[in-house]
Structure formats: C-alpha cells, structure tokens
Chain A
C-alpha cells in the first residue's frame, strides 16, 4: 500500500469502498458459518476448505493458457483474462467451487468410511491443498504473483464485480441462517430427536454443506484464504467464551467479526498492512480476553 500517506481518509474510503464493504459483509456473515462449524467440532474445515478453494483458483491459472486455446473464455486472450474481467472472475470462481466441493465431498466420504481421526484427515487435506497451491502457482504463467498476493491477504483489489458476487452469496447464506438456524441447530445438536420430530435432517445437512461450499469458494476467490481462516475460526472462538445461549452465540460471533473487520481496516490503512491479514490479526486479538478470562466451554 505504498503511496497512501498523502491520501486522505475520505479518499481512501472512496477508492477502496468495495474492498471495505466486502470486508464488513464478510465479517458479519462468515462467523455465522464458523459458529456452526465450531459447535459441530469441524472448525478445521474452516482452514482446509479455503485452502482447497485457493488451490482450485491457482490450478485455474495454471491451465488458463490451454483453456483459452482449446475451449475459449468469452473471446478473451490470456492477457485480458488475467486482468479484472467478469468472465475471468467467473472462471476462477468455478475452479474454486470445484476444488471446495470436491474437497468437502472427499472429507465427508472419508469420514463416513471411518478409520483414522477427523483432525488427522483434515490436517492432511490442508497440507495437500497447500502444496498443490504452490505447485500449481509454479507452473502457471501468471501464478506466482497472484499466489503471493492471495496468501498475503490483500483485499484492496476487490472491485464491484467481486463485491456483487460476495454480497449475493453471503446475503443468501445469511438468509439461510436466519430462516433455518433452529433446524440447523437441532439437526447438529441432537440428530436423533430431530428425526423423531420429523425433521429432514439429511436435507438440512446438505443445505449446510451447500452453503459452506458456496461461501468458501466465493470468499477464497474475492477475499483470499487468510481472511477466511480468520473469519471462520476466530470470531466463533472469541464469542464462545461469552455466549450464554445459542442465539446469543450466533449474534456475538457476527459482532466480533464486524468489529475485527472495522479495526483491521483502520489498522491496515494506518500501519500499511495487508487488509486480510490485519483483520485476521484483529480477530485473534479479540479472542484473547475470552481465552484468558471467559467461561470455559467443553
């Protein structure tokens, strides 16, 4: 963020309005998903899945020259496809979604087969996805710089197209959480009672998988994995120490996410830091008092 020293706050807000808006929306909605991942004891998914999505996007870059030559991408040439274009964004989103849903399906399938520990499987998945990200980046003609930027968590390049995509996907996801939070809670907390009460548990579990895949794919594409790690994992941990009810937990997680985004945005401008990493660091700081002084959850 060199060269921002002489830029006033109002100019910054105007220049980076889409990045700021995307970070705030992410701060409000990703912790809702993270809360469900946390209570289902699948928080590690919040780390592994964004890495899968990143590997997918970098893989998309690696095969981009071949793709343009053999299949085509809305008539774009390689140079146009690597710059900010709607078609290229959709292309990368598709790769992110392919790897996210593929990784999620693989983890669920391995979990159903049993054997080994869930933590071990997810940790292995994270290691593989991380290695794949680096390797795909190396063979990609445009990948290395992109991978560096993605890993650094620089959000300032978020434009109107990315924001629109984020807003639509996260808006719909928030609607799902608002409409079905009771059903999702019951299906997660007490599956057998949910079945006895006539709830379509498989449908709600499928809905959660769908929302997880969509949110992670679009977030990794537009915001980068570091912000996703931070928003999916840290606000739920911060809120759990203070939450007194499940509804309160969801709202508090979201509030912690927005607070981390706000402080992180200011810190990134003031201290010249990558915005995604600054927000994740602020989320970690917000989790600290709860870890030290909050009530201990099981």
Chain B
C-alpha cells in the first residue's frame, strides 16, 4: 500500500525551538489515526507540522498526495462574516481558482453533492453562523470533501458538541474511511471517542511521539502508565 504522508525523524516547533522531535510516521490509504496526549504536550504542533502549516525544523515530511482535506476547529471561523453554508463549502474549490475564473457549474454541483453527503443539503442557503456546532462541523467536512481528498486532517472535530452530534460526525468519518479508503488523522482530547473510533494512536508527550494500536494504548491501565510516565494527570475533559 503506497504511503500518502511520510514523516522521517521530523522535529516541529516554533522559533527554531523544537516542541516535538524524532517523529517517524507513515500514513497509508485506509488508515484512521488519532493524535492524543496531555494538554500542552504538542498535539497541535504535531498536527500543524504534518499538515504543512509549519515546516519541520529537522528531518522531513513528504506528502505523496496533493488531495489533502483540512477541517479546522469551527471556533476559529469568525461569525461576523455573513457566509452561507453553500459559500463555505464552495471555498473548498477555491484552491483551483485562478484570477477571474469563477466556480464552474461542475464545482457548484459538487458542493451540493458534498452537502448531501453530510446530510445538510436543505440548509445550503442558511447562514453558516446560524447552524449548531455539530452541523457547522459537518459543513466543514463537506468543504474538505470538495477536493476529493485521499487524506483528511481534522482538528478537534467533536469538541464542544453534544453526544448526538458527536455520534453523527464520527459515523460520517468512519463511513468515509471504510467506503472510500480515505485516510483520516484527527487530533482530540476526548480519549474515549478516539479509542472507540481510530485504529492507531499517536501518543504525544514529553516532546516525543509513540505510535500504537488504539485499543491497546488507550486501555485504562495503559493510560495511567502513559500519564504517569509523562509526569502529568488527566484533566476532566480527557477522562475516559
């Protein structure tokens, strides 16, 4: 199976100071991975590094596919913008637009299909800011689907949404992973969700990354050991 993303001895950080180093990782089609670890351990730094938003300070990150979908935390999107659901999804095609070229009819149809895929086609003319947290998250997933990604990276996709919305989002991700072989990498502090959903876990602590099977690494007895080894305790939001 060909790799979509390969990190080799990669170190990521800010202002030339590594936060995390020695990252060895290979993501292939069909993979489902979660980045977890104590607060402040460098989960977001690793995520941003793999995404290409910060360059590696050492080593390399090779992306073998250009079809990468990104789903940011919805709180980062300012509701002062009067964007509609449809406009947000269509932004997923902006990467291909150059100069005066507007959206083609095929791209408009594609946006509609992506919205149907996440079950929100009937809300396309609504203001994005009028949707619930879970619905906004699904719209952002629809936007990431516009480019038909082989690899999708999601930043805290189920944070701050109720259990029902969380279940719908996870159902959608599992379906994309299983039916289309889309590789998925998400970062989360919700350990129980990660354990029940992903195949492999990237445990981030003390500037290092350990990779292992989710069920094994996030088993309660193992978790206590991992937290103790990193000299931290679990916060309320990280409880299983």
Residues of A within 8 A of B (CB): 38-39, 41, 178-180, 182-183, 185-186, 188-190, 192-199, 240, 243-249, 297-298
Which one of B82, B91, B143 lies within 8 Å of A249 (CB-CB)?
Answer: B82
**B82:A190 contact, CB within 8 angstroms:** no
- Nearest first, the 5 closest Cβ-Cβ pairs linking A and B are A197-B95, A298-B79, A196-B70, A243-B82, A245-B84
Residues of A within 8 A of B81 (CB): 39, 185, 188-189, 246
- Whether A183 and B68, one on each chain, are in contact in the complex, defined by CB atoms closer than 8 angstroms, is no
Spell out B's residues near A (CB within 8 Å): 51-53, 68, 70, 72, 76-84, 87, 91-92, 94-95, 97, 99-100, 125, 127, 129, 143, 147
Report yes or no: B79 in contact with A297, Cβ–Cβ below 8 A. yes
Residue of A185, A197, A240 with most chain B CB atoms under a 10 A cut-off: A197
- How far apart are the CA atoms of A221 and B70 in the complex, in Å? 45
Count chain A CB atoms within 10 A of each CB in B80, B81, B97 and give the residue with the most: B81
Q: Are A190 and B68 in contact (CB under 8 A)?
A: no
- Expressed in whole angstroms, the Cα–Cα distance for A8 and B109 within the complex equals 56
Are B91 and A245 in contact, with the CB atoms below 8 A?
no
When distances are taken between beta carbons in the complex, the residues of chain A under 8 Å from B97 are 182-183
CA distance A240 to B78 in the complex (A): 14
A183 B80 Cβ-Cβ under 8 A: no
User: How many A-B contacts if CB must be within 8 Å?
Assistant: 79
Instruction: Answer whether A182 and B53 are a contact pair too, CB < 8 Å, given A245-B83, A246-B81.
Output: no
The minimal Cβ–Cβ distance linking B57 to chain A, given in whole angstroms, is: 18
Besides the contacts A195-B53, A198-B95, what 6 more A-B pairs have beta carbons closer than 8 Å? A39-B80, A39-B81, A196-B68, A240-B80, A246-B83, A246-B84
Residues of A within 8 A of B53 (CB): 192, 195-196
Residue in chain A with minimal CB distance to B51: A196
Contact assessment for A190 and B80 in the assembled complex, using a CB-CB cutoff below 8 Å: no
- Give complex CA distance A244, B127 in Å: 7
- B82 contacts A196, C-beta separation under 8 Å: no
Shortest distance from the beta carbon of B185 to any chain A beta carbon, whole Å: 13
CB-based contact B83/A199 at 8 Å: no
Residue in contact with A196 in the complex, picked from B52, B77, B83, B129, CB distance below 8 Å: B52
For A196, what are the chain B residues with a Cβ–Cβ distance below 8 Å? 51-53, 68, 70
A80 to B92 CA separation, bound complex (whole angstroms):
57
A198 to B66, CA, bound (A): 10
| Nearest residue, chain A, Cβ from B155 | A192
Q: Which residue of B lies closest to A241 (CB)?
A: B82
Known interface pairs A41-B78, A182-B94, A199-B94. Does A193 touch B70 (Cβ–Cβ under 8 Å)?
A: yes
Q: Which residue of B lies closest to A239 (CB)?
A: B82
CB <8 Å contact, A244 and B100: no
B79 A193 Cβ-Cβ under 8 A: no
Distance in Å: Cβ of B123 to nearest Cβ of chain A:
13
Most buried by B among A38, A190, A198, A199: A190
* C-alpha spacing A82/B82, complex, angstroms: 46
Contact check, B77 vs A190: say whether CB atoms are below 8 A apart: yes
- Shortest Cβ distance from residue A149 to the other chain B in the assembled complex, whole angstroms: 36
A245 to B78, alpha carbons, bound, how many Å? 14
Contacts of A39 in B (CB 8 A): 78, 80-81
- The residue on A at minimum CB distance from B70 is A196
Instruction: Tell me which residues across on chain A come within 8 A of B91, comparing CB atoms.
Output: 182, 185-186, 189-190, 193
